[in-house]
Structure 1
């Protein structure tokens, strides 16, 4: 037995410890749960870097996938959010981080289920008032095929504007850089290549921040990730945070696979 003890000790393992009888297991809090919802024509893989950063910061994460081009928003939102909340277990007021259309799924589901509680929500590039891209190209068959029925609901006078103010503590991060000047040309005002900064704003939000990032890659950008962590932790963004400081914070967490693309 003594030789087994030394073998375990010097191998870097430890022997099981007896439970402390003075500690009530039910009083030990579980990590807060964060639900991730990706955007249109994406998968949960697009949120993996965000997932890793949140886990490194101590959160329990449910990175919820859904078939974004297969059905209208309401039919996508219900099974996705039900599954995500179930994945959060005992946490009945989970935080949520959304990218793009994921915000509209969340708002739609929350409107249909006002009895549910939520924690803090960070929306990345949300089309809270739709996008002129849908107005301009939505009638083309190829566009409908590429974006599905949910995508066609994201015009500037469509589903997003019919939803009520957000019922949760919400911080919005908008992008000001574009990878597609053709698409940006049909969008009114400054934009991220898909959604205008003005469209990201929503009634009831608590904070709004614009960063020099693009719609396509913003959820993998170090500044966006660290600002998301800041809002989830404190309910506020850090507007003065530099790109270098954001990288350092992520490296300190052990997260190095972040995109340097805006």
Structure 2
């Protein structure tokens, strides 16, 4: 009787070893949704998407008509279908550039995401941009940037300033270099050419770091990309000598 039981156990072990090996099922794979900025497309996030994918994440790079609708009409149609493209029951993360971060804030102000893990924003105008204040009334601005562009200022029309504090795990990367000195003169502080470092910050954020990168090319900057992946993995940005005792 003992010999028969041992043979059956041995046969079961051989059957298990013969099964195909799968290191990570799609049901447990973490998902990262990428959202580009105003007047951009999903192509602007392609390099970042590849790096995040190589780090082991399932990526969903969203293209949406950023200049065709107001922010509240862009958020749902951009984000809801992207969530459906994530593996079932996976944790959900967002990586956004510029206005893409405002779309996430807009969406989360109305719809909770139960399996939301982390959000990383690059150069977000979380408290609006003075550039919009100065140029919004100029002929051609609305034609180029639409209603959403006008909603990114610091005044009464500012959507970011109405959305409130972050109630989710948020890391923010600000840029400190500009390739547009004319626009930078409109911003009374260190900036990336479109948004000041201070105005990227948001109450409730978990971490904030400044990188010598420009607004337009921030999502393609190698240091920014490395920081994005580090935050997704660790929930904090990487600093010299592993010094993460506080925000910059």
Aligned residues: 225
- Once the two structures are superposed, residues 107-148 of structure 1 have per-residue CA deviations (whole angstroms, 9 ceiling, x without a partner) of 000001136441111000000000001100101230111111
Give the match for residue 62 of structure 1. Answer: 60
The 1:111–1:188 alpha-carbon spacing in structure 2 relative to 1, beyond 3 Å, is same
Partner Cα distance (1:41, 1:208) in 2: 25
Give the match for residue 206 of structure 2. Answer: 206
The 1:63–1:28 alpha-carbon spacing in structure 2 relative to 1, beyond 3 Å, is closer
The 1:26–1:206 alpha-carbon spacing in structure 2 relative to 1, beyond 3 Å, is closer
Give the match for residue 37 of structure 1. Answer: 35
The 1:27–1:189 alpha-carbon spacing in structure 2 relative to 1, beyond 3 Å, is closer
What's the CA shift for 1:29?
A: 4.8
Partner Cα distance (1:164, 1:19) in 2: 54
Give the match for residue 223 of structure 1. Answer: 223
Output aligned runs, 1:116-131, within 5 Å: 116-131=114-129
Q: Tell me the TM-score normalised to structure 2 length.
A: 0.85
Partner Cα distance (1:24, 1:103) in 2: 34
Output aligned runs, 1:17-56, within 5 Å: 29-56=27-54
Give the match for residue 89 of structure 1. Answer: 87
Give the match for residue 179 of structure 1. Answer: 179
Partner Cα distance (1:102, 1:227) in 2: 18
Task: State the superposition RMSD in angstroms.
Answer: 2.4
The 1:92–1:57 alpha-carbon spacing in structure 2 relative to 1, beyond 3 Å, is closer
Partner Cα distance (1:211, 1:98) in 2: 16
The 1:155–1:50 alpha-carbon spacing in structure 2 relative to 1, beyond 3 Å, is same
What's the CA shift for 1:234?
A: 0.4
SS in 1 for 2:236: coil
Output aligned runs, 1:51-200, within 5 Å: 51-91=49-89, 93-114=91-112, 116-157=114-155, 158-200=158-200
- Once the two structures are superposed, residues 200-234 of structure 1 have per-residue CA deviations (whole angstroms, 9 ceiling, x without a partner) of 00011000000100000010000000000000000
Partner Cα distance (2:186, 2:159) in 1: 20
Structure 2, unmatched stretches of 5+, are: 1-14, 242-248
What's the CA shift for 1:20?
A: 5.1
Larger Rg, first or second structure (1 or 2) = 2
Give the match for residue 5 of structure 1. Answer: none
The 1:218–1:128 alpha-carbon spacing in structure 2 relative to 1, beyond 3 Å, is same
Deviates more, 1:24-33 or 1:141-150: 24-33
Partner Cα distance (1:180, 1:47) in 2: 21
The 1:181–1:108 alpha-carbon spacing in structure 2 relative to 1, beyond 3 Å, is same
SS in 1 for 2:172: strand
Q: Tell me the TM-score normalised to structure 1 length.
A: 0.81
Give the match for residue 14 of structure 1. Answer: none
